[in-house]
Structure 1
Amino acid sequence: MRRLILMRHAKSDWNHPGLGDHERPLNRRGTAAAKALGDWLRDNGYIPEEVLCSSAERTGQTLLGLALDGGTPVKFSRALYLAEAGDMLNVLRQATGNVVLMIGHNPGICEMAHRLVGDPPEHIRFEDYPTGATLVVDFDTDWPDVTTGDVTAFVIPRELKDGSA
């Protein structure tokens, strides 16, 4: 079995007009949301063995806020920055861990989530995949052969204690 934790970065800060999109950091709500998502991952036993993360500042700060075990291998990839679903899937197919956390951006991450699940979760926010949205999906195949899997969980930060986004 393979498990993917597909996470959109937490809420970013638009109050830095001199920064390019790639350098935009999280805002206070985003920092709180990342912490809440990390607590949720640990509380539910969703511990990644590998992290594939966009190279953008806000995705890196989201990952840092999750406070995962420092021994988890992390690959920051420019290929995941504003990537389309097909490009994200190509990166995922190179994964080596059984449980992979992928952190990216909309609209590609939303498209990826919809592509990977045959039976979507009954959650009103799954359609637009807001900041911090996190899908956990299980597959009965190896990463190179992944097509569709079974949803285990879907959450948005607003549903978590201290995770308003």
Structure 2
Amino acid sequence: MKTLILLRHAKSGWDDPVARDFDRPLNAKGMRAAEAMGRHARAIGLTFDRIVASPARRVQETMIHFGEGYGTALTPEWDRRAYLASPGTLLDLVREQPETADRVLIAGHNPGLEELVLDLVPEGADERLRVLVEQKYPTAAIAVMTLGETWAEVASGGGRLARFIRPRDVDPSLGPDRD
């Protein structure tokens, strides 16, 4: 059974004057949230064999802070296709994963991540968690899905949403409208 872990980048700084969206950094709350989610991932025993991530600055910084919380430096494969990717492009990335990897983490952006979860997990399945994803896939949130036996055969409706963890679930001070 393959496990797909989707991590949305942490909260970025819109007030930072950068020329390109690609270069937008995390803000202080985002740094705290990424580290807290890394600590929580380690505490619940969430592991991954491989990481694929958007090379956008906010994702790179998320991976640094998530790794600090997790307790190890992470070494993602930076894939430009993951930057603001559609669910179709993300599904292509999933299907390309080596079969030797059983647990893959993909770090990226919304709305693609949210739409991928909703595409892979059929309506009526894992209803409570799926409804939370439908409501909002907030920054630094993690979705954990179990899929089939091979990455190449991952298809719409073929997943099970095992966990959906938001920063506010880990630390209420990281909830909406709080800095």
Moved beyond 4 Å, runs of 4+:
none
Look up the match of 1:31.
31
Runs of 5+ unmatched residues, structure 1? none
Q: TM-score, normalised by structure 1?
A: 0.92
Runs of 5+ unmatched residues, structure 2? none
Look up the match of 2:142.
134
Q: What's the CA shift for 1:120?
A: 4.2
Look up the match of 1:100.
104
RMSD, aligned α-carbons: 1.7
Q: TM-score, normalised by structure 2?
A: 0.85
More helix by percentage: 2
Q: How does 1:19-98 map to 2 (within 5 A)?
A: 19-67=19-67, 68=70, 69-70=72-73, 73-96=75-98, 97-98=101-102
Report percent identity of matched pairs: 34
Q: For the pair shown, which has the larger CA radius of gyration, 1 or 2?
A: 2
Look up the match of 1:153.
163
Point out which structure has higher relative CO (alpha carbons under 8 A, 6+ apart).
Answer: 1
Q: What's the CA shift for 1:18?
A: 3.1
**Shift in CA distance, 66/18, structure 1 to aligned 2, threshold 3 Å:** closer
State how far apart, in whole Å, the 2-side matches of 1:60 and 1:24 are: 11
State how far apart, in whole Å, the 2-side matches of 1:121 and 1:25 are: 34
More strand by percentage: 1
Is 1:111 equivalent to 2:118 in the alignment?
Answer: no
